A and B are shown apart, each in its own frame.
Chain A
Amino acid sequence: MVPTTYYLLLSAVLFGLGIVAFVFKRNIITIFMAIELMLNAVNLAFVAFSSAFGKSDGEVFVLFVIVVAAAEAAVGLGIIILTARNRRSLNVERVDLLKL
């Protein structure tokens, strides 16, 4: 079987790539997708440990993470739509003043 370390390394790599995308991209929707990538990396670590120890608690946590990510995506995208309507741009570098 596959050692747990491999899964944890993959999870760390994906998390790191999510951080890179979060910092370097300028489109707000892509930044939001980077957050989802980070959540997925964490899910992978949860399932890896759940499988290694033979208990299902990790999988229950994964279900909760998925649910919370769904709720967050819904509200976050609503906010993004509103901001895009007001500022007429999806570029985060343009949203740097409180004044419209």
Chain B
Amino acid sequence: MSDFLTHYAFLIVPIVKIAILVFIVLTVDAYLTWLERKVIAHIQSRWGPHRVGPHGLLQPLADGVKFIFKEDPLPASVDKAAYFIAPFITLMLALTSLAVIPFGPQHFTVFGYETHVGIADVNISLLVLFAITALGVYGVALAGWASNNKYSLLGGLRSSAQMISYELALTLSVVGVLLIAGDFSLRNIVDQQQNGNLGLLGWNIVGFSKDGIGFTQIIGFICFFIAAIAETNRVPFDLPEAESELVAGFHTEYASMKFAMFFIAEYTSMITVSCLATILFFGGWLSPFPASWTFTDYLPSLLLIPFGLWVIFDGIRYETIFGRIVLPGVGAVLTALGAALIVFPPFNDAIQGLFWFLAKVFTFLFVYIWMRGTLPRFRYDQLMSFGWKFLLPVSIANVVLTSAVILWRMH
């Protein structure tokens, strides 16, 4: 049995990793919708979902059940091939782009097969991500067209034109990072931001990296983040799918399960873009503290234990009985996890990279949600002129500036 596993490990290990990753990403998607509704609600001085489970935590489950049981109508005069393919393409591309992202620094060996934290370690991973982003336009365009509906078609065409325009700025804003790193592989880009004892200062956003060749990429980061928000069709760039504008834009004619596919694809691409932003500009899984400050290794447990205790304390006084059982249980698990991290140092070492990566990704997701609650949306012509007349020239200027600084420093 273990012989079979060793022989076919190159096939079985990636499949297991894919299963784990898809499960985790779908759960994170679901709870991201909960987080979004809660945060936007609190920004707007109301409560958000708080009835379905303790603090509304079972709301995503209720939404999932609704999506499964709702009728999935097929309008009569749609183009059946394109109607079925469009949500499928969008979801497939969004989930595939997670395959090339490295989540942590460890290399570990299982059944004699050396592997790493991440599914595929290709040396053109950044180009693969751009290729997938480029193909993502089709899902939107086909969805708009297949619905045989003027408003969907307009919404789909506007949305795909927006995605194509901002894709240029997205690709160019990353070229500065590529010039500094000299490599397309995301894992190598993170490794080059690791500068011994510099910690935070070695990240590309500050740029004291790589034998003095680095240059701060803050312009590149701002261009990248704005372009990424436009790529994922989020506020303030979400005119094509806004509810008060073109009914619901390109996904008007889509109901339960197909709409759920678009929905999941949007949140998954949000997660991918946040992961990209942390890897390219914020040092991925690197800690902001210098490597010699080993006492900062206890930061995860320092955060988990008080949070767990607070959840227990809050749960004991909760209004429903269900909450009074579940919340202290969850809190106890979190506290035990925090304590286990202190007691078992090897476990703590393994979790460091992943902890910092997840912390940064969640910070970006929070900024995404914060912007949705705060900003009004662009009008379509303002959006297009902003992309072509401001963002693209600024990205090109960033490339020219970075290459000039690198050339000057190399002499």
Do A and B share a direct contact in the complex (Cβ within 8 angstroms)? no
Give B residues with C-beta under 8 Å from A: none
Give A residues with C-beta under 8 Å from B: none
